[in-house]
Amino acid sequence: MSAQSQSPTVRTFTAGAAPQAPIGIFDSGLGGLSVLRAVRAQLPDEAILYVADSLYAPYGERDDDFIADRTLAIGEWLMGQGAKALVVACNTATAQSIALVREKLPIPLIGVEPGIKPAALQSKSRVAGVLATQATLRSARFQGLLERYAADCRFLCQPGHGLVQAVERCDVGSAELRALLRSYLEPMLDAGADTLVLGCTHYPFLDAAIRDIVGDRLALIDTSVAIARQLERVLAQHGLRTAPGAGALLPRFYSTDDGLHQQQLAASLLRIEAAVEQVRIPSRRTAGPDSRAA
């Protein structure tokens, strides 16, 4: 299971967050909405604040310091909005900066990691593919996952160049996207893979396009449900579950760009009709006027 928490010891937080406070969820962009979907299904009474850092997506081709800087700035911003816990719904940000953010933020933190362990457990052919960002694949944390859990299973690691950008423009099925996916997946099939780890939270939105190419030859590993369950456990450990009965609230959506694609994707794929508020969340590396070039 790839979700992680403060375990093994339960840290006590004294920041004073109340159980009825919202959960903060953040991603470089729209991918974390696949985690939000699972969290809403698992914890329907919890209020959620979601930040998409779409102005700076994709993170996967940024340097490590940039990713850490943005992750910390957005975590602090969400805390400032009253978040009682933070879900870093981004494999890339988790891989690069979860340790730093955990040190700095006095609220429970859940990160996401590619599902190497479940893939190694379930692959019969002992060959599995991993699609993730370049930054995730090069991280020490990901290499550690392979060392710990791959066992005798061979993992074919493929950077998903272009896939995050496609989802960010709400493209989950164009001919260009399918051709790109085919170029990543066919070599895995040729090598005998029977399992595919979706190592980026944007990729579950491509599941239909992936299925069209691979049929049922690859079992898809998406860890969003495991993350939602882990979040539930962590909230309970800290006495931070909201009282039941509040009912399904609409999440509050924020974006660092105009939020139009976020609104469109949430409506079409999650059936959530909610406005998106544009916010400015400066960080050390983005405070200047030419922040896009940072």
Chain residues binding ligand DGL by CB under 6 A are 27-29, 31, 57-60, 90-92, 133, 136, 164, 200-202
DSSP-assigned letter for residue 20: T
170 is catalytic: no
Beta carbon of residue 278, minimum distance to ligand DGL (angstroms, whole number): 19
- Annotated ligand binding at 60? The verdict is yes
Is position 157 annotated as part of the catalytic site? no
Catalytic residue (choose from 153, 157, 170, 200)? 200
H-run or E-run covering 252: strand 252-255
Q: Is the dihedral of CA 212, 216, 221, 225 positive or negative?
A: positive
Q: Which one, 57 or 218, has the nearer CB to ligand DGL?
A: 57
Q: Which is nearer to ligand DGL, 56 or 77 (CB)?
A: 56
50 is in an annotated binding site: no
Nearest approach in angstroms of CB 197 to ligand DGL is: 12
- Which residue, 30 or 185, has its beta carbon nearer to ligand DGL? 30
Dihedral sign of CA atoms 181, 187, 193, 199 in order: negative
* Residue 202 labeled ligand binder: yes
Question: Per the annotation, does 92 bind a ligand?
Answer: yes
**Catalytic residue among 90, 153, 157, 170, which?**
90
Task: Pick the closer one to ligand DGL by CB: 47 or 197.
Answer: 197
CB of 131 to ligand DGL, least distance (A): 10
Closest distance to ligand DGL from the beta carbon of 262 (Å): 13
Sign, CA dihedral 158-205-166-199, equals negative
Distance CA 42, CA 133 (A): 27
What are the strands, taking DSSP E only, across 6-118? 23-27, 48-52, 85-88, 109-111
27 annotated as belonging to a binding site for a ligand: yes
Q: Which residues fall within 8 angstroms of residue 195, CB to CB, at 6 or more apart? A: 119, 122, 123, 125, 127, 128, 129, 218, 219, 221
CA atoms within 13 A on the CB side of 21: 23
Detail the residues annotated as belonging to a binding site for substrate.
27-28, 59-60, 91-92, 201-202
Residues in binding site: 27-28, 59-60, 91-92, 201-202
Catalytic residues: 90, 200
